[in-house]
Chains A and B, each alone.
Chain A
Amino acid sequence: MNDEYYPWGGEFKIGALKGCVAVVLLNIQYNPSENVAIYGRLKTENIGIEKIIANTISNPSLRFLVICGDDIRGHLSGSSLIALHKNGIDKNHRIIDAPGAIPYIENLQEKAIRRFQAQLSVIDLIGEKDTKKIDAIINNCIRKLPPSFGEPYIAIRLKPEVAVNITDKRALHSRITIDYKGKIRKRGG
């Protein structure tokens, strides 16, 4: 099921198959109920956020993203995720007005981000650690019975352009060569 609904993988747990709520855990000890479709921890304000986007837009049943717990110190990943949903990214792929240390979205197309903004409503519970309150808000979302967003969106992981094609199997990688004694030099140098 992971592969079908959540193609980018990651550390998360799955609950209700057609559930409409995804929960992002920051600094909080909390296991949401089985009525939630998917939940997991967010640590980094770049790769972590990318996975959340890719793994929510792939499941059109998901319509609410609940973000709860104290934000991650320094990284401020939760606040950066909210900034992304609200503002998108600039020409350098930096999340606009994100407070985190390295808030860049590099492996997703902008179209995927726009889909995320359209499909999901973000429920900002950053700082909230009262699990009963969070449960109540989640249940409230579920009661709304939102319709599916339509077709799944499978985000393609953007690949960096390959600078050099290597056929030399002795090379560690594109930049250096190594002789049988261990002498390293730059390729072509």
Chain B
Amino acid sequence: MFSFTKEQQVFDIQGISFGGQPGMHPTVLFAGLFFKGEPDFDDAKKRLLIVSNLSTQTGTPVIPDLFIRKKEYITPLLSFIENEMPQTQPFSIDVIDPLIKIEVLGQLAERKLLKRTIYNSIHIGITPQEIDALQQHTPEMVIVVTFNPKDASPDGKIEVLENGAHLIDYGLLETVRLIGVEKILIDTAALAPGENSGAAIAAIPVMKEEYGLPTGCAIHNVVEKSKWLSEFPLAKKTIDAASNSSIPLFGGDFAIFGSIENAELVVPLIAWQDILVSEYSENYFGISPTISHPRRKLLK
């Protein structure tokens, strides 16, 4: 358990806080929706209700991460956000295709949803058209993924932030500044086993000490890509959930944990981990947990 000498920034979106010294704010979870097949909105509503209850019970904030795979899903998905989710609920939109990203930004602006939006994500594949769209329709918060195709180490991830690893004209931090977003989440880009998968976790304290920015990753992706675990189906589910605890343990602020179906495993796990971190951090570093922290909620 850590404390950083660098001053830590805290960013808020609709009352949910990211960042700070470990033990201060609860770890924020991103729960994925609509990864496969046609969007099932009835199921999504049920899942979101379960997650909302888990969050209230534990104090661990959970943000829906909506995956938009196809252009024809944009309108129904954004209507779902607008009409079915609480008016103050922040959400992230997870899109790979740059053209769909641009279309989504325009529609988010039309529907006045940008204040609740976490843009997932900016990376070295950003196009000039995407930068233009982001300048016109600027989301409240962005996730910056530090994937560096030539160097997966923490230093390689810093290189991407500083100078774009000379693959793009500007470093990603400068790109975000040009776009005009102040609230940045650093994603340390978890890669497959064999590709220095551990670097995503090792990079968390590096980023926090170097920049003081909220940092996390989708470490469960490494579990998904560990094909050998298919021979151990029960363990695989446990490991998928448990992998997320390494993020707060290494001083991180958020975990993108994959399918919302796993929320019942992951949310209490992270609440437990946060309590562990908070107890040490308060005892040795004097970092008190905020009022909504699981330690305050669950340990009376």
Binding site for B on A (CB under 8 A): 9, 11, 46-47, 73-75, 92-94, 100-107, 158, 160, 163, 172-176, 178, 181-186, 189
Contacts and interface: CB of A to CB of B under 8 A. Distances in A.
B149 A106 contact: yes
B166 interface: yes
Interface string B185-225: 00000011011000000100110111000000000000000
B3 A183 contact: yes
Contacts of B227: 11
9 contacts: A74-B95, A93-B150, A102-B125, A107-B149, A173-B206, A175-B158, A182-B1, A184-B2, A186-B6
Contact of B167 (A11, A47, A92, A172): A92
Contacts of A106: 148-151
A28 B156 CA distance: 34
Interface string B69-94: 11000000000000000000000000
Contacts of A46: 149
B41 interface: no
Contacts of B158: 175
Interface residues of B, number: 44
Contacts of A73: 69-70, 96-97
Contacts, number: 103
A173 B158 CA distance: 13
Most chain B beta-carbon neighbours within 10 Å: one of A75, A92, A174: A92
Interface string B152-168: 01111010000000111
A189 B206 contact: no
B280 A173 contact: no
Contacts of B206: 172-173, 175-176
A102 B123 contact: yes
Contact of A176 (B123, B156, B209): B209
Nearest to A183: B3
B123 A101 contact: yes
Contacts of A172: 202, 205-206
A47 B209 contact: no
Contacts of B194: 9
A115 B245 CA distance: 45
Interface in B211-251: 227, 251
B96 A184 contact: no
